[in-house]
């Protein structure tokens, strides 16, 4: 289980490197387009369209990385007062609640792709991008997130059943609390930077 | 009654420490399943796609990336030192530098969390070195960081502009004077407290005039980014969303000039950017999905009717709104807060004659307050996250309280003198 | 007699079509006409936070029983539907109603074939104009070449085609919320929108000229999901059809009124909705109009026909037999 955990974690990190580079590419292409438009009245609306697709795909692939980094925001007001066993249960419950939501989303996103294939939907732009291409990648990110959620829920459940609740915190707990031995509250909001 | 039950359920789920996004999404699914046979769920897939490639939200990852690069390229640390040399002699010492550096950084960054994380990382080691009272020092970082969304550029103002069809450049203009005022009020707060209780003040920073003049060159990079982002908007070269891209490219160039640009630094920036963006996007998407269900059940019309029936004077309505946001701001993340409420609140406010641009500034101030009110104050968490392990969270909350008072004072001032926000955009956009 | 409570999604909550007619129809007219048996939970797009691009999918899946939708917005899912409202094809509103009438069977076929739904009514919005920010000394009558190299906001494939090939201008992608600020600051020279929504969105504050050429009429529909429709009794279906026919006439009359009002409000009035906007009305020379018409046929219509034939073979012919015959255009892929 531990090996699979680190494999899925590393795969999500790899996707983050790829899509982080995608964000950088968006910035470079947009800046180039602004300059070309300003200086030579040449514009490439396709830059905007493709940027939107990269953004959508990068977002869903990032979800799994956020999961392994334990950075999906949770409120720890009550959590910090719990003992290790109850905390492990709270962590399991948190995973299951997220799994329910993401399962519904993934199912609905799949139906959307299915309709896109049926209608042969194309973007309403000059590029006429067949929408199944970006939508497949976008759906794959969601499906990968769902897979990781199911795996992590199972892993945590097994740990609890084997009486190893204390280990749950390091893979599914709220970071500050888990690391600080319970004295320091704070949600798992940040490291580095965030956008509120 | 239904609304009370809804709120109680929300709080109970929050207390269970479920992920915020899961709570919003699951509530939407359950409500739809039980009261509507799950029909609205058929809209979720198409809706999710339509929203997740929306060009305007793209400014979120771009501003986060900009902040990540500035932090890792050393631009932020040099700028902090320069500011400290200029204003660190005041009673309160580096706490003024925290606020001053946050103000300057805010002018390059669209995000409050990026601002306090950056300044906090740079400033935290100074507490021990200069013997500061920890709570107030931490509070000045948490509060200073909130300026990130009031002083342009600002992701929050972009989202407000999109949701309410208000001009983003006008909103940016409107944020400048209140932003500078709030920074001054923060500094006055530090000054006043340190004069009252000299024990709070650490050892002041001493710098010669030669030092200070030399340090000015370290303020050039943030200035370049600010001019690149804001200047291109007002010169008619770029739209507000495009301007975020220009900021990223400028920070890359500056980082290369600093010889700090390398692949390790870029990969770390990518990780930080995706972590923050995806975390926030899941909450935003869940809040939008909940909004479909809540909107379908007519909550928006009901709330409008209810408040309309109260027959309040405009100022009473505004007071009610301020109290309402302060209370929910204690518990909610700012994006979800704005997304779930603005559709109800904005039409009410404009229907009694308040200016949309002015209200945008008030809303941002209320979001800033939410960032530093416990139990859920994202900026408080950021600062707590930077500290040594085991230190009590209480310190940060207590330290931020005086700055919260300064924010409330500014809100009252804005209600009394709306011109503080509207004067600059009116000057610039006079018909 | 059975009672029904329909789920309905409308257009934009802050605009006149919803406020004055769609919401009134679902909340008052239909319940009254059916003695309270046929009611609806009807919400505008804006209250649900939706954009209107997925309406065909919502009709098909039955998320809503009835839906009001805009053709241009759902063009991604069907080029046949897009063909109802190509940029620069229809000269005036009266002709546009005829266009809708002749094309209706083609549209109904598409709604049945792909989207499991039935069209109840077709309607339009006030005409779409280019609203521009030009220097004071711009002549009031211009040629087609005047637009060469100008920055015009793009809004879809057919508009891009029009901007690039008919006007010789540069299409710029700008989110709707950023159009007005971009016009004010000069990042855009022209934006296109309905004349009345331009006025209510205060576009006159950042612009100087209103080009008097109708680019389109924002063709819209009201349709019903087949499963819902088939489950109704014959009497109920007849009742709804009868009431919708009244709504359709009302709506076309209102559009004609608002069309004239929007143009007047943007210039020197009279304007019953507030201060006149003071924009200069700009027209195109006869030669310019002629050239525009030719370029639309080879550019906008031709490009659409190519797009459409690739996905729905036979659609160009269907268009030629209906809209083409009426207006004297030919769609050649
Ligand atoms: Na800012
Ligand atoms: Na708070």
How far is Cα C92 from Cα C4, in angstroms, rounded to an integer? Answer: 39
Q: What is the CA radius of gyration of chain C?
A: 20
Q: In what order do the strands lie in the sheet with C117-123?
A: C38-43, C4-9, C66-70, C220-225, C117-123
Give yes or no for residue B9 having a pLDDT over 80: no
- Residue numbers in B near A143 (CB within 8 A): none
User: In the structure encoding, which two tokens stand for residue C198, read together?
Assistant: 């331009």
Give yes or no for residue B213 having a pLDDT over 50: yes
User: In the structure encoding, which two tokens stand for residue C206, read together?
Assistant: 């950042």
**Beta C38-43 vs C209-211: how paired, if at all?**
unpaired
Ligand nearest to the CA of B113: 1
The beta-carbon neighbor of B292 closest among C7, C48, C187 is C48
Task: State mean pLDDT over A31-45.
Answer: 88
Spell out which residues have Cβ within 5 A of ligand 1, the ion.
B 106, 148, 151, 154
Q: What pLDDT does residue A189 have?
A: 33
Whether residue A126 and residue C76 make contact (CB cut-off 8 A), yes or no, is: no
The beta-carbon neighbor of B55 closest among C7, C175, C185 is C175
Render the burial of A81-110: b for 16+ CB within 10 Å, e for the rest. ebebeebbebbbbbbbbbbbbbebbbebbe
Q: What pLDDT does residue B240 have?
A: 80
Whether residue C49 and residue B295 make contact (CB cut-off 8 A), yes or no, is: yes
Chains touching A (at least 3 CB pairs under 8 A) are B, C
More confident residue, B277 or A115: A115
More confident residue, B295 or C282: C282
The beta-carbon neighbor of C57 closest among B46, B161, B291 is B46
Whether residue C49 and residue B42 make contact (CB cut-off 8 A), yes or no, is: no
Chains touching C (at least 3 CB pairs under 8 A) are A, B
More confident residue, B1 or C228: C228
Task: State mean pLDDT over A13-38.
Answer: 94
User: In the structure encoding, which two tokens stand for residue C104, read together?
Assistant: 């209706």
Q: What pLDDT does residue A176 have?
A: 63
More confident residue, C136 or A132: A132
Render the burial of B177-191: b for 16+ CB within 10 Å, e for the rest. bbbebbbebbbebbb
The beta-carbon neighbor of A123 closest among C76, C149, C311 is C76
Q: ipTM, 2 decimals? A: 0.90
Across B175-184, B212-221, B393-402, the highest mean pLDDT is recorded for: B175-184
Q: What pLDDT does residue B39 have?
A: 93
**How many helices and strands, by DSSP H and E, does chain B display?**
23, 0
> Chain A: residue nearest C77 by CA?
A121
- Residue numbers in A near C157 (CB within 8 A): 124-126, 128
How far is Cα B180 from Cα B119, in angstroms, rounded to an integer? Answer: 18
Kindly report which listed range (A118-127, A149-158, A168-177, B289-298) carries the lowest average pLDDT score. A168-177
- Tens-digit pLDDT profile for residues C5-16: 999 999 988 788
Give yes or no for residue B50 having a pLDDT over 70: yes
Q: Tell me which of C77, C152, C304, C309 to substitute to probe the interface with A (most A C-beta atoms closer than 10 Å).
A: C77
Whether residue C76 and residue A121 make contact (CB cut-off 8 A), yes or no, is: yes
* Cα B325 to averaged position of ligand 2 atoms, centre (Å): 10
User: In the structure encoding, which two tokens stand for residue C236, read together?
Assistant: 């109920």
- Tens-digit pLDDT profile for residues C80-131: 999 999 988 998 999 999 999 999 999 999 999 999 999 999 999 999 999 9
Where along chain B do its domains lie? 14-429
Task: State mean pLDDT over A1-30.
Answer: 94
Q: Tell me which of A114, A121, A135 to substitute to probe the interface with C (most C C-beta atoms closer than 10 Å).
A: A121
Cβ contacts from A onto B, under 8 A: 296
* Cα B95 to averaged position of ligand 1 atoms, centre (Å): 20
Q: How confident is the model at residue C211 (pLDDT cuts 50, 70, 90)?
A: very high
Whether residue A126 and residue C307 make contact (CB cut-off 8 A), yes or no, is: no
Asked whether C66 and C27 are in contact (CB, 8 A), the reply is: no
In chain B, helix, strand, coil percent, each to 5? 80, 0, 20
Task: State mean pLDDT over C32-46.
Answer: 93
Q: Tell me which of A138, A169, A196 to substitute to probe the interface with B (most B C-beta atoms closer than 10 Å).
A: A196
Kindly report which listed range (B244-258, B321-335, C92-106) carries the lowest average pLDDT score. B321-335
B415 C-beta neighbours (distance < 10 Å), count: 16
- Residue numbers in B near C44 (CB within 8 A): none
- Residue numbers in C near A118 (CB within 8 A): 114
Task: State mean pLDDT over C320-327.
Answer: 95
Closest CA to C279 of C213, C214, C188, C202: C202
* Cα B328 to averaged position of ligand 2 atoms, centre (Å): 8
B399 vs C: CB within 8 A: no
Percent of all residues in chain A with a pLDDT value above 90, rounded to a whole number: 63
A30 vs C: CB within 8 A: no
> Chain C: residue nearest A48 by CA?
C173
The beta-carbon neighbor of C76 closest among A47, A111, A124 is A124
SS3 string, chain C, reads: CCCEEEEEECCCCCCHHHHHHHHHHHHHHHHHHCCCCEEEEEECHHHHCCCCCCHHHHHHHCCCCEEEEEHHHHHHHCHHHHHHHCCCCCCCHHHHHHHHHHHHHHHHHHHHHHHCEEEEEEECCCCEEEEECCCCCCCCEECHHHHCCCEEECCCHHHHHHHHHHCCCEEECCCHHHHHHHHHHCCCCEEEEEHHHHHHCCHHHCCCEEECCCCCCCCEEEEEEHHHHHCCCHHHHHHHHHHHHHHHHHHHHHHHHHHHHHHHHHCCCCCCCCCCCCCEEEEECHHHHHHHHHHHHHHHHHHHHHHHHHHCCCHHHHHHHHHHHHHCCCCCC
Whether residue B54 and residue A73 make contact (CB cut-off 8 A), yes or no, is: no
Whether residue C63 and residue B42 make contact (CB cut-off 8 A), yes or no, is: yes
Q: In what order do the strands lie in the sheet with C209-211?
A: C141-142, C280-284, C209-211, C128-132, C190-194, C151-153, C170-172
Task: State mean pLDDT over C30-49.
Answer: 92
Residue A191: CA atoms inside 13 Å, Cβ hemisphere, count?
15
User: In the structure encoding, which two tokens stand for residue C6, read together?
Assistant: 């329909």
How far is Cα C312 from Cα A46, in angstroms, rounded to an integer? Answer: 24
Across A109-118, B340-349, B414-423, C201-210, the highest mean pLDDT is recorded for: A109-118
| Locus of tokens 């069809």 | B165
| Mean residue pLDDT across chain C | 91
> Any long-range contacts for B204-209 (C-beta under 8 Å, 24+ apart)?
B204/B88, B204/B89, B204/B90, B204/B91, B204/B93, B205/B84, B205/B85, B205/B88, B205/B89, B205/B93, B205/B94, B205/B97, B205/B130, B206/B89, B207/B84, B207/B85, B207/B86, B207/B88, B207/B89
Task: State mean pLDDT over C56-64.
Answer: 94
Please provide residue C168's backbone torsions phi and psi, each rounded to the nearest 5 degrees.
70, 20
Whether residue A24 and residue B65 make contact (CB cut-off 8 A), yes or no, is: yes
Cβ contacts from A onto C, under 8 A: 59
| Locus of tokens 């409500």 | B31
Q: How confident is the model at residue B70 (pLDDT cuts 50, 70, 90)?
A: confident
A99 vs C: CB within 8 A: no
Q: What pLDDT does residue B110 have?
A: 82
How far is Cα C108 from Cα B377, in angstroms, rounded to an integer? Answer: 54
Q: How confident is the model at residue B113 (pLDDT cuts 50, 70, 90)?
A: confident
Collect all residues with Cβ–Cβ distance below 8 Å to B233 and sequence separation of at least 6: B169, B172, B239, B240, B243, C181, C185
Whether residue A45 and residue C57 make contact (CB cut-off 8 A), yes or no, is: no
- Residue numbers in A near B382 (CB within 8 A): 189-190, 194
Ligand nearest to the CA of B146: 1
The beta-carbon neighbor of A119 closest among C77, C82, C173 is C77
How far is Cα B155 from Cα B152, in angstroms, rounded to an integer? Answer: 9
Collect all residues with Cβ–Cβ distance below 8 Å to B50 and sequence separation of at least 6: C50, C51, C53, C54
Asked whether A145 and A64 are in contact (CB, 8 A), the reply is: yes
Give yes or no for residue A186 having a pLDDT over 60: no
Q: Tell me which of C14, C50, C55 to substitute to probe the interface with B (most B C-beta atoms closer than 10 Å).
A: C50
Whether residue C185 and residue B168 make contact (CB cut-off 8 A), yes or no, is: no
Q: Alpha carbon of B61 to those of A21, A24, A193, B114, B116: distances in Å? A: 12, 10, 10, 11, 17
Closest CA to C148 of C327, C281, C329, C295: C295
| Locus of tokens 């796609």 | B49
Q: Alpha carbon of B392 to those of A176, B134, B201, B218, C32: distances in Å? A: 12, 11, 21, 35, 64
Q: Tell me which of C70, C157, C165 to substitute to probe the interface with A (most A C-beta atoms closer than 10 Å).
A: C157
Give yes or no for residue C213 having a pLDDT over 70: yes
Bridge partners (DSSP) of residue C121 are: C222
Ligand nearest to the CA of B150: 1
Distance (Å) from the C-alpha of residue B321 to the closest C-alpha of chain A?
21
- Tens-digit pLDDT profile for residues C234-256: 999 999 999 999 999 999 999 99
Question: Is 0.90 topped by the overall pTM?
Answer: no
- Tens-digit pLDDT profile for residues B17-46: 898 889 989 999 999 999 889 999 999 999
Collect all residues with Cβ–Cβ distance below 8 Å to C173 and sequence separation of at least 6: A43, A45, A47, A48, A49, B55, C153, C154
Give yes or no for residue B242 having a pLDDT over 70: yes
Distance (Å) from the C-alpha of residue C2 to the closest C-alpha of chain A?
32
Collect all residues with Cβ–Cβ distance below 8 Å to C15 and sequence separation of at least 6: C197, C200
Q: Three-class SS of residue B19?
A: strand
Closest CA to A60 of A94, A16, A101: A16
User: What's the gap between Cα B336 and its chain centre?
Assistant: 13
């Amino acid at each position: 289980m531990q090996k699979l955990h680190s494999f899925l974690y590393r795969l999500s990190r790899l996707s983050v490197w790829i899509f982080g580079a995608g964000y950088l590419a968006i910035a470079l292409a947009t800046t180039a387009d602004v300059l070309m438009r300003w200086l030579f009245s040449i514009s490439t609306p396709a830059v905007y369209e493709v940027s939107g697709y990269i953004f959508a795909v990068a977002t869903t692939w990032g979800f799994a990385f956020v999961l392994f980094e334990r950075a999906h925001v949770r409120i720890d007001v009550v959590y910090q007062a719990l003992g290790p066993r109850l905390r492990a249960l709270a962590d399991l419950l948190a995973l299951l609640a997220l799994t329910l939501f993401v399962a519904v989303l993934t199912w609905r996103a799949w139906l959307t792709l299915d309709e896109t294939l049926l209608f042969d939907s194309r973007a309403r732009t000059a590029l006429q991008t067949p929408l199944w291409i970006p939508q497949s990648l976008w759906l794959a990110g969601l499906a990968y997130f769902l897979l990781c959620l199911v795996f992590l829920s199972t892993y945590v459940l097994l740990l609890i059943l084997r009486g190893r609740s204390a280990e749950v915190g390091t893979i599914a707990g709220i970071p500050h609390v888990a690391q600080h031995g319970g004295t320091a509250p704070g949600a798992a909001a940040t490291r580095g930077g965030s956008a509120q | 009654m239904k609304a009370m039950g809804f709120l109680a359920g929300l709080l109970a789920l929050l207390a269970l420490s479920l992920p915020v996004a899961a709570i919003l999404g699951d509530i939407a699914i359950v409500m739809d399943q039980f009261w509507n046979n799950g029909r609205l769920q058929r809209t979720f897939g198409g809706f999710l796609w339509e929203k997740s490639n929306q060009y305007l939200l793209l400014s979120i990852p771009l501003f986060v990336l900009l902040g990540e690069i500035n932090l890792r390229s050393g631009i932020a640390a040099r700028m902090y030192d320069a500011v400290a040399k200029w204003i660190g002699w005041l009673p309160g010492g580096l706490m003024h530098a925290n606020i001053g550096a946050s103000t300057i950084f805010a002018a390059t960054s669209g995000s409050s969390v990026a601002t306090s994380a950056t300044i906090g990382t740079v400033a935290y080691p100074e507490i021990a070195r200069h013997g500061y009272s920890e709570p107030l020092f931490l509070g000045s970082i948490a509060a200073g960081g909130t300026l990130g969304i009031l002083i342009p550029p600002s992701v929050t103002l972009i989202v407000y502009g999109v949701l309410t069809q208000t001009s983003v450049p006008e909103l940016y203009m409107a944020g400048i004077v209140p932003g500078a005022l709030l920074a001054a009020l923060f500094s006055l707060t530090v000054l006043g407290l340190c004069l009252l209780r000299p024990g709070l003040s650490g050892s002041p920073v001493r710098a010669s005039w030669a030092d200070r003049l030399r340090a000015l060159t370290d303020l050039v990079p943030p200035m370049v980014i600010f001019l690149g982002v804001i200047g291109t908007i007002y010169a008619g070269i770029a739209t507000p969303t495009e301007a975020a891209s220009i900021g990223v490219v400028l920070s890359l160039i500056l980082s290369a000039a600093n010889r700090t640009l390398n692949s390790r630094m870029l990969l770390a920036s990518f990780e930080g950017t995706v972590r923050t963006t995806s975390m926030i996007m899941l909450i935003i998407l869940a809040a939008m999905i909940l909004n479909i269900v809540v909107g379908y059940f007519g909550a928006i019309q009901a709330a409008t009717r209810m408040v309309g029936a109260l027959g309040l004077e405009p100022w009473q309505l505004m007071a009610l709104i301020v109290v309402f946001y302060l209370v929910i701001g204690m518990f909610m993340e700012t994006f979800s807060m704005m997304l779930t409420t603005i559709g109800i609140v904005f039409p009410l406010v404009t229907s009694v004659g308040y200016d949309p641009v002015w209200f945008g500034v008030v809303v941002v101030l209320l979001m800033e307050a939410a960032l530093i009110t416990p139990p859920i104050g994202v900026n408080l968490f950021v600062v707590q996250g930077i500290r040594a392990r085991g230190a009590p969270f209480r310190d940060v909350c207590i330290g931020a309280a005086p700055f919260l008072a300064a924010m409330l004072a500014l809100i009252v001032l804005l209600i009394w003198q709306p011109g503080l926000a509207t004067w600059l955009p009116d000057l610039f956009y006079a018909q | 007699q059975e009672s029904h409570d329909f789920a309905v999604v409308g257009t934009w909550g802050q605009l006149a079509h919803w406020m004055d007619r769609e919401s009134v129809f679902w909340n008052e007219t239909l319940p009254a006409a059916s003695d309270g048996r046929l009611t609806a939970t009807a919400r505008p797009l804006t209250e649900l936070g939706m954009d209107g691009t997925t309406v065909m999918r919502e009709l098909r899946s039955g998320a809503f029983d009835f839906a009001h939708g805009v053709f241009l917005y759902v063009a991604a899912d069907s080029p046949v539907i897009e063909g109802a409202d190509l940029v620069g094809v229809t000269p005036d509103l009266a002709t546009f109603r005829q266009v809708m009438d002749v094309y209706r069977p083609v549209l109904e076929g598409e709604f049945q074939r792909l989207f499991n739904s039935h069209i109840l009514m077709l309607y339009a919005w006030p005409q779409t104009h280019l609203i521009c920010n030009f220097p004071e000394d711009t002549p009031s009558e211009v040629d087609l070449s005047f637009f060469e190299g100008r920055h015009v906001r793009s809004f879809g494939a057919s508009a891009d085609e029009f901007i690039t090939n008919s006007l010789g201008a540069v299409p710029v992608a700008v989110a709707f919320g950023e159009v007005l600020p971009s016009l004010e600051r000069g990042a855009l020279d022209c934006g296109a929108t309905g004349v009345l929504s331009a006025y209510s969105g205060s576009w006159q504050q950042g612009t100087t000229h209103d080009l008097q050429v109708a680019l389109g009429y924002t063709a819209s529909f009201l349709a019903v999901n087949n499963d819902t429709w088939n489950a109704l009794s014959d009497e109920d279906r007849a009742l709804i059809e009868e009431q919708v026919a009244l709504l359709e006439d009302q709506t076309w009359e209102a559009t004609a009124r608002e069309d004239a009002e929007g143009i007047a409000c943007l210039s020197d009035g009279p304007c019953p909705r507030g201060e006149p906007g003071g924009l200069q009305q700009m027209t195109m020379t006869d030669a310019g109009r002629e050239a525009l018409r030719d370029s639309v046929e080879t550019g906008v219509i031709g490009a659409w026909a190519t797009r459409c034939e690739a996905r729905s073979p036979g659609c160009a012919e269907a268009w030629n037999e209906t809209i083409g015959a009426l207006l004297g255009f030919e769609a050649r892929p």
